[in-house]
């Protein structure tokens, strides 16, 4: 019966609606692991991301107003007081949450989940309500408060694979989607169905001098990240919020004394 | 009902229409002032902001929402009561509503429009605002119906439409009265406005029926609008915003500030348009009681909110609570408590309820309190979310402050224009309340 | 024997460096200048050498449409192994810096005015060439002085040839970051000038005396890689690190234990540890008795009293150090910058010696003969040499001063009066890409290509345990009317005439480098069978590096301990300034972002939050929280930091991991020139450093000055990204109760 069909379609649609990004499963599930026992807080990753993703140079004044744009930043936490004082670093970038709070926020779908489990941001579609940034518990979304320019000839460095954003749009870590695209294209050219493990290396992961970060497809049980994720030190930040992040941190180990 | 003796029908017509038909220099001066304030304080800074980017405001990565959004909530709040009150009172057949409701509804309309303006000001790329409407397009791109902002768009447009129709419908007989009282272009214009109203029994019947229908329709709408607006906040998981109590809290707050707004507007109408005969002690007294009741509910919900934050025991919530009560913006918080929870208690005394000046003061204080309430909501929660390392601070820039000031001027401008085009008090309903006709009228 | 670059790169790299090879090797196209027929939209990668510090990391530069887009580590280079630090990646800001000098300039009026007019290359070179030529003919060639930074490899060789053919033996280098004390101490302890290979990677107990090996010491990327491996690279085994320094550096933050010994006594602490190690009987060498008597005075109790480190800690660390299978002690930073710098480093070397860490995995390896037999660092003159130079200049003994890649006006303490001395030099020539403080004092500025536009080669120092040489090649066409430094030298040689053009016949630096590599190729046979030079050259160029991993130092005989023992006596570092007048110890430190200040003109680095404090754009003075509270100082209060040498005003920053009684200041800002991003930003702590020299190295004891601070009452906002730096009990750094 027609009505019944409609109803079941509706129910079906509704079910889909409840899934992250409407997907039953992700083609790839790009995942990053960050080993805090290796990370030294050197910020090589920060510059790597800036170079790869055309992050603007905002200038001293804007920096003072907290308008900087750093898709990956290092957070610092002190523990204890002198002389028993310790410093903990944690690189903070978009967690590509499977249940992303930011995604329900956007009225125009400028941020959505793609079939790879990435939380993507479509600059062209963004109207700048900034709701996503308010909703993101990791505070990794950055807004273009102004149209930033580059002092000539610094603009010659800009990566042609990545859009330069204008004022009024939100931006954040993309897991270097341009590199993922390239790897997929290469795989296709080679008649491979899937990208090999290690073929996609985001800029930050690539640069890290201590090899603290790993990146790959956690749908592939053989991938390096899949193995790293099983590490007993593994945890996700703000687990209690149930955002199911795609970044697994490995807790800093302690010296057994 | 009428403090200065009951007017005749003709007097009603004359009193009310004279406001529209006779325009003195004082009006023009006032209009000129509000318009220039609106331009200088609102539109010029906005224009500047459009050119350089939203960075002109004081928001930063610590607070992506700022005064614009808190003002948006404030104006939406103010818009309540108007239509809502009018509808409720219509259904419950409260006679004292009649002289108040037209301007109350107008207030709804104009504060909604002002609120909508704030959405525009807030947006990073306002030139693409139409993308948030479900406009069919060749890309097959639709808005995100899961987004509370999308709910907002829906709710506010619906509310705006419904309120406009509501106010318009109620004004049709009055437009006819204006038509009859005027000549020339104005007459032709009001002929169109009044839809050829002739005052036949059938017309009155249809109007009464339709009006009641809309009144019933508008009540849940008004409740839903502010609930939905509250979800902008409550659906986020930000500590201090993620409260289920937010919907009733916002609705109650909205009606509260709206009612206070009506008192203010009534005072002005009475004072400047010489409507003393139509807006009397009864209205004031009744509104005062209503305000008092609302303030008690508001205080109760406010306590509940604090209680649930504390009782929940989540460290994030506790931290947010602590900051709200004792942090940098604590003085503002306590100011709000004073103005919205304690000052209104004075209305327990008839002396206050019956004094126009005192009530004006109280109503203004309440709205100042409500304005700060909205500001506190955005300014204390966002800069301190989950990761202490990203904690920061929000303080509005002069542009935001100026635009906030300007928005009141915009509201006033719209109101001033309104009283010249629509009878500020419903002529026919006032007439309904008059004692049976005397021959000489 | 395998050659990097010979044969298939991927395979060679894979064999050598395992996991470090990641890049599509097909993309490595060797080209001098990007070809005209590039395919748009396709990126190519060129390998060259990073020049942002003296570690000599191999880099790969991504080129698209003839423009450099990104710098990454060269995956087949043994130093960087595909990784790169923040400074290295910001090299693109050097290339595309808006403040680059775009054509030869001549000083318009006075030196101080800083206004220049453009002239042609021909004019500039002729002016200089004729002047030097005249001096040469007059036999006054020694009135020509050449000062460079830490120039190595082919360029160094070229400079050296140029100067010696000219007849001047005044070619000297000054680089603030050069580990002079380390070299001097290694010469004493191990009898070698070259820096050894510190095998942090395989160590399981790393004891660092002030060496910020993760950010600024010798070869940060290489050591960071090693650190990662030390921590988590081996199954079931996690190396430990202990850091001894008054102010927590990045390496201190990474360490399991951070010990703030009294400044200037770190060497003493090393001796105390050595004493304890010997007492516990873990050293059994034949010279045990000599050691015992030499170390006799340094009992834990005495050392504990002097260093403010508890006896328990000394005993425990000595035990842990001795018991670890692969322990390693290193020294650098402030430990190697006291008046006792060399003695301190010798003491640390002694620790390594006594724990048997020499030529052991996870210990110290001596490098075999480098590819090109240049003794790296041997031209570093240290502070003494610079004082001599300044004196000579002041005395009018210098007629032509050529400066390249060195900024003494900024890097030397004010009281060297280098700027004033320069006034007495009739012709100052700067070979530079930027208007830094020294360049601005020049009469003629010859704008140089940046390292990304130049040919060159390099032998990394410290090495990696086997012979390695890297090639730099231009990755983009020169942006402006500039020339590579090598080409300028060759052109000058031609103008000067005489023997020079005959003995230096190469037209360009490229030719010179290639000739040099041909010589090297001819001099080596092992492993090069069946490969002609062209193939060898091509392969090396593609890989950006050539090396012979199998070769280790021939017969690494144990150094004799006598020299070490003789050099042990380790007086505590002496501080300029009286303790009662100057209650604080000034602790200047190199920052991970700017190093000694050379990175300050790069916007990416200015905008990079300082790793320990998150401050951007500016400098500051750090105080311990308790000290600050006592003095009533809050963050952002402008302090006047005053030493016997001078005073500067900087905002205060409260830093939890700083020894009370120390005021720490980052080096690197405080430029009065050097482009829009660096100029007039912060203060230069070098202005505060008293002129004290460690005689044994001739180096400046830059961590041996006392200071006092005064709150001026003004305030200056410190721009930083950190909000609250405590977790507030939130489980951000991991779940609490399990110590996995
Ligand atoms: S590059 Fe690696 S070690 Fe450095 S801060 Fe980033 S994650 Fe940590
Ligand atoms: S980390 Fe923030 S921006 Fe990224 S997916 Fe999660 S909620 Fe969205
Ligand atoms: S994955 Fe890419 S975009 Fe994200 S932080 Fe790393 S470099 Fe930046």
User: What's the per-residue H, E or C state across C134-165?
Assistant: HHHHCCCHHHEEEEECCCCHHHHHHHHHHHHH
Ligand 3 atom closest to the Cα of residue A176 is 2
C381 Cα to chain A: minimum distance (Å): 31
CB contact under 8 A, B388 and C726: yes
How many angstroms separate the alpha carbon of residue A247 from the centre of ligand 2?
11
Q: Check pocket membership of A97 for ligand 2, CB cut-off 6 A.
A: yes
CB contact under 8 A, C724 and B319: no
The single residue listed with the structure tokens 């999308």 is B150
Q: Which of the listed residues A39, A77, A89, A249 should we mutate to test ligand 1's pocket, taking the one with most ligand atoms within 8 A of CB? A: A39
B338: which DSSP letter? I
Q: Check pocket membership of A208 for ligand 1, CB cut-off 6 A.
A: yes
Handedness of CA A212, A218, A220, A222 (dihedral sign): positive
CB contact under 8 A, B55 and A107: no
- Residues in chain C closer than 8 A to B315 (CB atoms): 728-730
pLDDT confidence of residue C557: 61
**SS3 state of residue C73:** strand
- Residues in chain A closer than 8 A to B149 (CB atoms): 105-107, 129, 131
pLDDT confidence of residue A2: 61
Please state the rounded mean pLDDT for residues A89-95: 96
CB contact under 8 A, B389 and C730: no
Mutation target for B interface from A91, A109, A120, A147: give the one with most B CBs within 10 A: A109
Comparing alpha-carbon positions, the chain C residue that sits nearest to A39 is C228
Ligand 1 atom closest to the Cα of residue A210 is 3
Please state the rounded mean pLDDT for residues A213-242: 93
Mutation target for C interface from B328, B387, B394: give the one with most C CBs within 10 A: B387
B255 Cα to chain A: minimum distance (Å): 26
CB contact under 8 A, B389 and C723: yes
Looking at the DSSP bridge assignments, the partners of residue A249 are A34, A235
Q: What's the token pair of residue B207?
A: 């109007």
How many angstroms separate the alpha carbon of residue C232 from the centre of ligand 1?
14
pLDDT confidence of residue C25: 41
C728: nearest CB among B388, B390, B392: B388
Domain carrying residue B265 = 9-132+144-433
- Residue B388 belongs to a domain: yes
**Closest residue (by CA) to atom 1 of ligand 1?**
A208
The single residue listed with the structure tokens 């906002």 is C717
Q: What's the token pair of residue B213?
A: 């229908």
How many angstroms separate the alpha carbon of residue A32 from the centre of ligand 3?
10
Distances (CA, A) of C540 to A62, A201, C455, C516, C521: 45, 26, 14, 13, 11
Write out pLDDT tens, residues A32-54: 999 999 999 999 999 999 999 99
How far from the centroid of its chain's Cα atoms is residue A10's Cα? 33
CB contact under 8 A, B131 and A128: no
Q: Pairing state of beta strands A119-121 and A111-113?
A: antiparallel
Domain boundaries, chain A: 21-250
Q: Check pocket membership of A50 for ligand 3, CB cut-off 6 A.
A: no
Domain count, chain B: 1
Ligand 1 atom closest to the Cα of residue A211 is 2
CB atoms within 10 A of CB B140: 6
For residue C592, the ligand closest to its alpha carbon is 1
- Residues in chain C closer than 8 A to A58 (CB atoms): 607
Q: Check pocket membership of A44 for ligand 1, CB cut-off 6 A.
A: yes
pLDDT confidence of residue B178: 85
pLDDT confidence of residue C36: 56
pLDDT confidence of residue C188: 87
Q: What are the structural domains of chain C?
A: 105-176+372-446+480-518 (3.40.50.740), 196-365 (3.40.228.10), 584-715 (2.40.40.20)
CB contact under 8 A, B391 and C727: no
C727 Cα to chain B: minimum distance (Å): 6
**Closest residue (by CA) to atom 5 of ligand 1?**
A41
Ligand 2 atom closest to the Cα of residue A111 is 8
pLDDT confidence of residue C738: 47
pLDDT confidence of residue A20: 62
CB contact under 8 A, B55 and A135: no
CB contact under 8 A, B124 and A167: yes
B392 Cβ under 8 Å from any chain A Cβ:
yes
Mean residue pLDDT of chain B comes to 87
Q: Check pocket membership of A93 for ligand 3, CB cut-off 6 A.
A: yes
B124: nearest CB among A62, A76, A169: A169
Mean residue pLDDT of chain A comes to 91
Q: Pairing state of beta strands C240-244 and C257-259?
A: parallel
**Closest residue (by CA) to atom 7 of ligand 1?**
A39
- Residue B63 belongs to a domain: yes
Ligand 3 atom closest to the Cα of residue A93 is 5
B149 Cβ under 8 Å from any chain A Cβ:
yes
- Residue from C281, C269, C261 nearest C322 by CA: C281
For residue A132, the ligand closest to its alpha carbon is 2
What is the DSSP secondary-structure string of C462-511?
S--SS-EEEEE--SS--SSS-B-HHHHHHHHHHHH-TTHHHH---SSHHH
Please state the rounded mean pLDDT for residues B305-323: 88
A206: nearest CB among C72, C603, C608: C72
C732 Cβ under 8 Å from any chain B Cβ:
yes
Q: Which of the listed residues A71, A201, A213, A216 should we mutate to test ligand 3's pocket, taking the one with most ligand atoms within 8 A of CB? A: A71
Distances (CA, A) of C166 to A146, C61, C141, C146, C428: 57, 37, 6, 11, 17
pLDDT confidence of residue A4: 66
Contact B388, C725 (CB under 8 A): yes
Burial of residue B164 (CB within 10 Å: 0-12, 13-18, 19+) is middle
Q: Check pocket membership of A74 for ligand 1, CB cut-off 6 A.
A: yes
B178 Cα to chain A: minimum distance (Å): 43
How many angstroms separate the alpha carbon of residue C351 from the centre of ligand 1?
31
pLDDT confidence of residue C7: 35
Contact C441, C111 (CB under 8 A): yes
Please state the rounded mean pLDDT for residues B2-18: 69
Write out pLDDT tens, residues B344-403: 999 898 888 888 889 999 999 999 999 999 999 999 999 999 999 999 989 999 999 999
CB contact under 8 A, A152 and C98: yes
Q: Check pocket membership of A95 for ligand 3, CB cut-off 6 A.
A: no
pLDDT confidence of residue C428: 94
Statement: residue B437 has pLDDT above 60: no
Q: Pairing state of beta strands C456-458 and C468-472?
A: antiparallel
- Residues in chain A closer than 8 A to B123 (CB atoms): 127-129, 168
Contact C185, C342 (CB under 8 A): yes
Contact A136, B129 (CB under 8 A): no
Q: Check pocket membership of A45 for ligand 1, CB cut-off 6 A.
A: yes
- The top-level CATH class assigned to A21-250 is alpha beta
**Closest residue (by CA) to atom 6 of ligand 1?**
A45
* pTM for the full predicted model: 0.91
Comparing alpha-carbon positions, the chain B residue that sits nearest to C721 is B390
For chain C, residues with pLDDT lower than 70 are 1-39, 373-377, 525-529, 554-558, 737-740
- Residues in chain B closer than 8 A to A77 (CB atoms): 388-389
CB contact under 8 A, A40 and C214: yes
């Amino acid at each position: 019966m027609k009505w019944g069909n409609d109803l079941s379609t509706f129910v079906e649609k509704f079910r889909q609606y409840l899934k992250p990004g409407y997907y039953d499963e992700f083609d790839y599930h790009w995942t990053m692991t960050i080993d805090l026992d290796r990370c030294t807080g050197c910020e090589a990753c920060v510059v790597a991301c800036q170079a790869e993703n055309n992050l603007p140079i905002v200038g001293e004044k804007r920096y003072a107003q907290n308008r900087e744009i750093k898709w990956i930043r290092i957070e610092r936490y002190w523990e204890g007081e002198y002389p028993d004082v310790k410093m903990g670093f944690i690189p903070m970038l978009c967690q590509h949450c499977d249940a992303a709070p930011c995604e329900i926020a956007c009225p125009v779908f400028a941020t959505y989940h793609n079939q790879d489990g990435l939380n993507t941001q479509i600059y062209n579609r963004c109207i700048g309500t900034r709701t996503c940034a308010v909703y993101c518990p990791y505070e990794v979304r950055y807004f273009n408060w102004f149209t930033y320019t580059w002092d000539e000839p610094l603009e010659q460095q800009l990566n042609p694979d990545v859009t330069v954003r204008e004022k009024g749009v939100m931006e954040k870590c993309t897991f270097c989607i341009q590199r993922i695209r390239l790897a997929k294209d290469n795989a296709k050219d080679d008649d491979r169905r899937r990208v090999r493990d290690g073929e996609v290396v985001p800029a930050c992961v690539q640069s890290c001098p201590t090899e603290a970060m790993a990146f790959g497809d956690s749908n592939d049980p053989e991938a390096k990240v899949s193995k790293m994720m099983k590490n007993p030190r593994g945890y996700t930040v703000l687990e209690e919020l149930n955002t199911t992040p795609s970044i697994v941190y490995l807790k800093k180990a302690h010296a057994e004394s | 009902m009428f403090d200065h003796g009951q007017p005749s029908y003709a007097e009603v017509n004359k009193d009310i229409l004279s406001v529209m038909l006779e325009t003195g220099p004082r009006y023009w001066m006032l209009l000129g002032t509000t318009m220039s304030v609106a331009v200088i304080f609102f539109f010029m800074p906005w224009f500047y902001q459009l050119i350089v980017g939203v960075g002109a405001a004081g928001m930063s990565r610590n607070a992506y929402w700022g005064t614009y959004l808190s003002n948006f909530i404030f104006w939406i709040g103010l818009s309540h009561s108007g239509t809502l009150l009018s509808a409720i009172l219509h259904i419950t057949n409260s006679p004292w509503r009649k002289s108040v409701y037209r301007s109350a509804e107008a207030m709804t309309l104009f504060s909604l429009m002002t609120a909508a303006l704030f959405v525009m000001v807030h947006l990073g790329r306002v030139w693409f605002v139409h993308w948030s409407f479900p406009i069919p397009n060749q890309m097959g791109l639709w808005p995100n119906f899961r987004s509370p902002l999308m709910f907002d768009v829906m709710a506010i447009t619906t509310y705006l439409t419904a309120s406009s129709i509501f106010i318009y419908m109620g004004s049709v007989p009055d437009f006819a009265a204006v038509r009859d009282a005027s000549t020339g272009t104005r007459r032709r214009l009001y002929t169109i406005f009044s839809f050829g109203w002739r005052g036949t029994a059938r017309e009155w019947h249809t109007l009464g029926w339709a009006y009641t229908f809309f009144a019933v329709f508008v009540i849940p709408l008004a409740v839903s609008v502010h609930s939905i607006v509250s979800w902008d906040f409550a659906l986020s998981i930000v500590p201090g915003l993620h409260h289920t109590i937010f919907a009733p809290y916002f609705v109650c707050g909205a009606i509260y500030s709206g009612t206070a707004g009506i008192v203010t507007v009534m005072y002005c109408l009475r004072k400047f348009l010489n409507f003393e005969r139509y807006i009397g002690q009864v209205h004031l007294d009744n509104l005062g009681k209503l305000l008092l009741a609302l303030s008690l509910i508001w205080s109760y919900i406010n306590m509940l909110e604090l209680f649930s934050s504390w009782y929940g025991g989540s460290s994030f919530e506790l931290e947010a609570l602590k900051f709200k009560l004792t942090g940098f913006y604590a003085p503002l918080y306590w100011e709000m408590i004073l103005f919205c929870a304690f000052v209104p208690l004075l209305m327990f005394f008839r002396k206050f309820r019956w004094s126009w000046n005192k009530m004006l003061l109280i109503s203004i204080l309440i709205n100042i309190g409500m304005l700060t309430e909205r500001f506190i909501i955005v300014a204390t929660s966002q800069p301190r979310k989950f990761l202490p390392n990203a904690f920061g601070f929000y303080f509005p820039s002069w542009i935001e402050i100026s635009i906030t000031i300007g928005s009141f001027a915009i509201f006033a401008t719209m109101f001033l224009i309104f009283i010249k085009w629509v009878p500020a008090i419903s002529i026919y309903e006032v007439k309904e309340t008059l004692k049976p006709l005397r021959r000489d009228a | 024997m395998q050659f990097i670059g010979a044969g298939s790169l991927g395979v060679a790299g894979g064999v050598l460096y395992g996991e470090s090879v990641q890049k599509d090797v097909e993309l490595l196209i060797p080209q001098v200048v990007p070809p005209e027929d590039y395919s748009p939209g396709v990126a190519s990668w060129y390998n060259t050498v990073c020049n942002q510090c003296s570690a000599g990391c191999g880099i790969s530069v991504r080129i698209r449409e003839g423009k450099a887009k990104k710098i990454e580590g060269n995956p087949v280079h043994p130093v960087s192994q595909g990784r790169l630090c923040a400074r290295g990646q910001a090299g693109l800001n050097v290339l595309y810096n808006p403040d680059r000098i775009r054509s030869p300039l001549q000083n318009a009026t006075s030196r101080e005015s800083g206004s220049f007019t453009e002239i042609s290359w021909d004019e500039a070179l002729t002016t200089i060439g004729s002047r030097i030529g005249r001096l040469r003919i007059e036999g006054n060639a020694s009135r020509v002085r050449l000062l460079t930074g830490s120039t190595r490899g082919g360029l160094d060789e070229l400079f050296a040839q140029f100067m010696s053919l000219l007849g001047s033996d005044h070619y000297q280098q000054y680089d603030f970051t050069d580990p002079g004390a380390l070299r001097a101490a290694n010469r004493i302890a191990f009898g070698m000038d070259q820096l050894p290979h510190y095998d942090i990677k395989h160590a399981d107990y790393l004891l660092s005396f002030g060496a910020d090996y993760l950010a600024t010491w010798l070869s940060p990327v290489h050591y960071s890689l090693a650190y990662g491996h030390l921590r988590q690279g081996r199954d079931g085994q996690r190396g430990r690190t202990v850091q001894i320094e008054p102010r927590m550096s990045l390496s201190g933050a990474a360490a399991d234990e951070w010990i703030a010994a009294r400044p200037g006594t770190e060497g003493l602490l090393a001796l105390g540890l050595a004493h304890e190690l010997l007492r516990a009987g873990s050293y059994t060498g034949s010279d045990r008795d000599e050691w015992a008597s030499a170390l006799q005075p340094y009992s834990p109790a005495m050392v504990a009293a002097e260093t403010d480190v508890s006896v328990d800690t000394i005993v425990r660390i000595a035990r842990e150090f001795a018991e670890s299978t692969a322990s390693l002690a290193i020294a650098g930073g402030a430990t190697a910058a006291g008046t006792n710098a060399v003695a301190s480093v010798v003491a640390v070397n002694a620790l390594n010696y006594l724990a048997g860490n020499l030529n052991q995995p996870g210990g110290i390896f001596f490098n075999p003969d480098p590819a090109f037999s240049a003794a790296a660092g041997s031209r570093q003159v240290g502070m003494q040499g610079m004082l001599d130079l300044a004196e000579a200049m002041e005395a009018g003994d210098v007629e032509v001063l050529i400066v390249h890649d060195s900024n003494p006006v900024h890097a030397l303490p004010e009281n060297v009066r280098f700027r004033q001395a320069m006034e007495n030099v009739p012709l100052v020539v700067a070979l530079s890409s930027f208007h830094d403080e020294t360049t601005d004092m020049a009469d003629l500025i010859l704008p140089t290509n940046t390292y990304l536009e130049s040919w060159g080669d390099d032998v990394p120092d410290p090495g990696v345990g086997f012979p390695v040489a890297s090639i730099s090649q231009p990755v983009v066409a020169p942006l402006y009317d500039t020339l590579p430094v090598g080409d300028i030298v060759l052109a000058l040689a031609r103008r000067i005439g005489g023997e020079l053009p005959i003995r230096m016949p190469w037209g360009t630096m490229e030719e010179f480098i290639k000739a040099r590599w041909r010589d090297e190729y001819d001099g080596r046979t092992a492993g090069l069978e069946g490969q002609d030079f062209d193939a060898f050259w091509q392969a090396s160029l593609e890989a950006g590096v050539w090396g012979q991993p199998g070769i280790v130092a021939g017969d690494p005989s144990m150094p004799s301990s006598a020299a070490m023992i003789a050099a042990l006596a380790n007086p505590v570092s002496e501080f300029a300034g009286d303790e009662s007048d100057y209650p604080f110890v000034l602790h200047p430190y190199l920052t991970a972002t700017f190093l000694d200040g050379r990175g300050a003109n790069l916007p990416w680095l200015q905008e990079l939050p300082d790793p320990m404090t998150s401050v951007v754009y500016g400098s500051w003075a750090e105080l311990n929280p308790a000290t600050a509270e006592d003095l009533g100082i809050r963050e952002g209060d402008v302090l006047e930091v005053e030493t016997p040498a001078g005073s500067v005003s900087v905002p205060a920053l409260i830093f939890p991991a700083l020894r009370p009684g120390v005021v720490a200041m980052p080096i690197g800002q405080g430029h009065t020139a050097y482009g829009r991003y660096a100029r007039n930003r912060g203060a230069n702590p070098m202005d505060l450093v008293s002129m004290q020299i460690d005689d044994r190295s001739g180096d400046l004891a830059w961590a041996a000055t006392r200071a006092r601070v005064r709150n001026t009452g003004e305030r200056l906002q410190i721009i930083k990204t950190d909000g609250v730096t405590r977790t507030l009990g939130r489980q951000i750094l991991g779940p609490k109760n399990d110590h996995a």
